[in-house]
């Protein structure tokens, strides 16, 4: 899980072009949207594509988005639970 | 229309430091990196491509110099638009077989992204128009500003231009033999007498006012465009017509800024005019500093405004008496334009 979260942080920085941040600047449980990293709805689409490209996981239900993308930890948990066999 | 303030993000941006001779490392003159940290927080800036940063930095610099919070209108011109984001989006489209495409590059790829971003940053819903007319793009933006002022729809108009060259577009344009292969400096650019020029890019913005102020650089008296003129006489007629409609003749012009770019065919048009209507005039070039691109005439206007204000020619500290400046540029001998600038 720790390795996956570290990878995710680097991938989020790369995908969302957050050049002003380093992976260690993103907390495991820090909210990604609004008051946390300050991401917005365009970033949500980028994160959905990131899951598809890097982990071959399609977000089946759009309503799950807010829960899945709450933090790096919730993303990592979702990836672990839904990783293709 | 009074030119109150300027912002310039180009390969050469300081009027007082313009070099006589420019050394080139390639046939692509790149604009300086635009620093927008003063105007935009990093979370917003991260999505901006180079051209957006150039445009935003130039626009914000002119707003800051003018001391204005919001203009009454924004008009700008771009020929190529946001090429970098367009290229990234199209590349992904092909490489990912039209799947898993993200919105960021797409929404930043439209031609009006720059002026849209400026409006967002200034928090204004004012009139906002981007003109995409190849070599007439910037002049169209100027003409729109003049009309807005004449019709009392705006008193302060932020007018500008922005164009970028990317590696991909440079490669494609090079296939048309537009650029010289071996040009080490600006002297060689004009002395080789061969085909081709040097590619350029940049963004210049102006705060234009209907009324004069103490800060004004110059007055933009008139702008005109003409398409594919047939022969030298047609150009001369246009010049005389523009001058006479402003109560002037060629004898009143102190400085001509011409759009020579080093391409032997391109420059022949200017040379023929120098033998006739511009004979004996102080004539200067500008594309050695910014390169050739469809909206480079904005750079020429920036230069004219500075010449009028400082009463000095670029790279020459001699004090002069300069009243009227005529900017004549053509892009590939298709899009021709004249700008008449008068000192305050």
Domain ranges of chain B: 2-209, 218-342
- At B129, list the tokens: 């128009």
Pick from B53, B207, B160, B65: nearest CA to B117? B53
pLDDT at B42: 87
**Looking at beta carbons, which residues of chain A come within 8 Å of B43?**
18, 20, 38
Give chain B's radius of gyration (CA, Å). 19
For tokens 């004009």, name the residue: B190
A interface residues, B as partner, C-beta within 8 Å: 16-20, 38, 42, 45-46, 49, 52-53
Residue B83's pLDDT band, with cuts at 50, 70 and 90, is very high
CA B4 to chain centre: 17
Count Cβ–Cβ pairs < 8 Å, chain A vs chain B: 26
For residue range A30-75, list pLDDT tens digits in order.
999 988 888 998 999 999 999 999 999 998 888 888 999 999 999 9
Q: Can you tell me the mean pLDDT for B106-123? A: 95
Residue B43's pLDDT band, with cuts at 50, 70 and 90, is confident
Contacts of B162 (CB under 8 A, 6+ apart): B51, B54, B55, B58, B76, B78, B114, B202, B203, B295
CA A65 to chain centre: 10
**Given this chain, do its domains B2-209 and B218-342 carry the same CATH topology?**
yes
pLDDT at B207: 98
Number of Cβ within 10 Å of residue B162's Cβ equals 37
Name which of B42, B43, B104 is nearest A46 (Cβ-Cβ): B104
Catalogue the long-range contacts made by B187-193 (C-beta closer than 8 Å, 24 or more residues apart): B187/B21, B189/B24, B189/B261, B189/B262, B189/B288, B190/B260, B190/B262, B190/B267, B190/B285, B190/B288, B192/B262, B193/B264
Q: Can you tell me the mean pLDDT for B15-28? A: 94
pLDDT at B44: 87
- At A8, list the tokens: 């995710």
pLDDT at A63: 87
**Which of A17, A35, A57 would you mutate first to test chain B, the one with the most B CBs within 10 A?**
A17
Q: Can you tell me the mean pLDDT for B232-259? A: 98
Pick from A39, A43, A37: nearest CA to A25? A37
pLDDT at B176: 93
- Whether B107 and A17 lie within 8 Å, measured CB to CB: no
Lowest-pLDDT choice from B58-62, B290-294, B317-321: B317-321
Name which of A18, A20, A46 is nearest B102 (Cβ-Cβ): A46
Mean pLDDT, all residues of chain B? 96
Determine if residue B247 is left, alpha or beta; phi over 0 gives left, psi from -120 to 50 gives alpha, anything else beta. Answer: left
CATH class of B218-342: alpha beta
- Is the pLDDT at A85 greater than 80? The verdict is no
- Is the pLDDT at B250 greater than 80? The verdict is yes
Report strand pairing: B324-331 vs B335-342. Answer: antiparallel
- Is the pLDDT at B109 greater than 90? The verdict is yes
Q: Can you tell me the mean pLDDT for B90-103? A: 90
pLDDT at A84: 84
Task: Answer yes or no: are the C-beta atoms of B141 and B135 closer than 8 Å.
Answer: no
For residue range B120-173, list pLDDT tens digits in order.
999 999 999 999 999 999 999 999 999 999 999 999 999 999 999 999 999 999
**Looking at beta carbons, which residues of chain B come within 8 Å of A55?**
none
Query: Domain B2-209: which topology?
Result: Peroxisomal Thiolase; Chain A, domain 1 (3.40.47)
* DSSP secondary structure of B180-194: -S---BHHHHHHS-B
pLDDT at B328: 98
- At B1, list the tokens: 């229309």
Domains with residue ranges and CATH for chain A: 2-82 (1.10.1200.10)
Q: Helix B50-66 vs helix B113-122: angle between axes, to the nearest 10 degrees?
A: 40
- Whether B100 and A52 lie within 8 Å, measured CB to CB: yes
Q: Can you tell me the mean pLDDT for B34-52? A: 91
pLDDT at B103: 86
Interface membership of B93 toward A (CB under 8 Å): no
Q: Can you tell me the mean pLDDT for B88-116? A: 92
Q: Smallest CA–CA separation between B77 and chain A, in Å?
A: 27
pLDDT at B311: 97
The span from the CA of B96 to the CA of B246, in Å, is 57
pLDDT at B264: 97
3-state secondary structure of B83: helix
């Amino acid at each position: 899980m720790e390795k996956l979260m570290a990878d995710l942080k680097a991938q989020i920085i790369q995908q969302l072009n957050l050049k002003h941040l380093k992976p260690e600047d993103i907390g495991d449980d820090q909210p990604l949207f609004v008051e946390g990293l300050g991401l917005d709805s365009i970033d949500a689409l980028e994160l959905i594509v990131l899951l598809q490209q890097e982990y071959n996981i399609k977000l089946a239900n759009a309503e799950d988005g807010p829960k899945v993308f709450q933090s790096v930890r919730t993303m990592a948990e979702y990836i672990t639970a839904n990783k293709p066999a | 229309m009074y030119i109150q303030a300027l912002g310039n993000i180009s390969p050469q941006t300081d009027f007082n430091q313009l070099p006589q001779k420019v050394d080139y490392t390639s046939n692509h003159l790149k604009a300086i990196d635009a620093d927008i940290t003063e105007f935009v927080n990093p979370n917003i800036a991260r999505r901006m491509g180079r051209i957006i940063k150039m445009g935003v930095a130039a626009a914000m610099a002119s707003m800051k110099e003018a001391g204005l919070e919001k203009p009454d209108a924004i008009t700008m011109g771009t020929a190529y638009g946001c090429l970098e984001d367009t290229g990234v989006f199209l590349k992904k489209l092909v490489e990912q077989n039209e799947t898993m495409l993200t919105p960021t590059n797409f929404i930043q790829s439209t031609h009006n992204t720059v002026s849209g971003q400026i409006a967002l940053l200034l928090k204004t819903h004012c009139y906002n128009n981007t003109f995409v007319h190849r070599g007439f793009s910037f002049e169209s933006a100027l003409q729109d500003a003049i009309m807005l002022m004449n019709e009392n729809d705006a008193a302060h108009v932020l007018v500008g231009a922005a164009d970028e060259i990317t590696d991909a577009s440079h490669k494609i344009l090079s296939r048309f033999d537009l650029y010289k292969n071996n040009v080490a400096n600006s002297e060689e650019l004009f002395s080789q007498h061969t085909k081709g020029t040097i590619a350029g890019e940049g963004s210049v913005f102006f705060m234009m006012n209907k009324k004069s102020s103490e800060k004004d650089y110059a007055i933009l008296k008139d702008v005109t465009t003409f398409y594919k003129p047939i022969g030298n006489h047609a150009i001369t007629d246009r010049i005389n017509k523009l001058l006479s409609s402003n109560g002037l003749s060629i004898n009143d012009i102190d400085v001509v800024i011409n759009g020579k770019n080093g391409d032997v065919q391109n420059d022949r048009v200017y040379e023929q005019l120098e033998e006739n209507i511009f004979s004996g005039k102080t004539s200067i070039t500008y594309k050695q500093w910014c390169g050739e691109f469809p909206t480079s005439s904005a750079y020429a206007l920036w230069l004219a405004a500075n010449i009028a204000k400082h009463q000095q020619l670029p790279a020459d500290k001699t004090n002069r008496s300069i009243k009227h400046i005529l900017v004549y540029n053509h892009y590939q001998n298709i899009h021709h334009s004249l700008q008449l600038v008068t000192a305050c």
